Amino acid sequence: MEQLHKTEEEIKHKKIKIARSRSGVPCLWESLTVFDDLVRSTIIYNSKKEPKSAFYINEGRDKQALVPITVGDYISKAFEDKYGIAISVFKITDISSMDNTATIIPIFRKSSQLQSWYNPDDLNGMIETTMKKLKSKTVIAVKQEKPSGK
């Protein structure tokens, strides 16, 4: 029999699709997607809440930077629609070695219909950077330096 209601655990933990590099490293795309009535920006942060470096930069496209991910990294998304700006921050808790999925849990959410809200101090930098990307439409990640062959 199919379960009609999700458990609290299923609501907190969500599986998302991920990409992989040519060598199989799990990745997500830093992106800026423009729809008719919505703009969405996504940035990947490390466990210290700093923007991560990318394997590949693809400016001028929706998928702007291919960023390697590990458990403990964060995903910050900002959405702008006719009501205002919404923010979501998630933490990666698991990366499947069998398929192209990762498990994330929500850390912070703010609805676009809230005009006044509180920025948690420990997430303030991530939220501000994600909002900046939403407005400037620029790539935040920088290309990883290749190790020197010394």
- Where in the chain are the domains? 8-136
Sign of the Cα pseudo-torsion (22, 26, 30, 36, in order):
positive
**Which pLDDT belongs to residue 88?**
92
| CATH match of 8-136 with 2.60.40 | yes
> Is the pLDDT confidence value at 7 over 60?
no
pLDDT band at 113 (very low <50, low <70, confident <90, very high): confident
Contact 106, 93 (CB under 8 A): no
Burial code (b: 16+ CB inside 10 Å, e: under 16) for 43-60 equals: bbbbeebebbbbbbeeee
Give every CB contact of residue 33 below 8 A, 6+ residues apart in sequence: 39, 40, 41, 62
Distance CA 47, CA 53 (A): 13
pLDDT digit string, tens, across residues 93-107: 999 988 999 999 999
Region 3-25 average pLDDT: 78
Residue whose structure tokens are 């929500």:
106
pLDDT digit string, tens, across residues 37-49: 989 999 999 999 9
What Cα–Cα distance (Å) separates residue 69 from each residue in 43, 53, 75, 134?
A: 11, 10, 10, 21
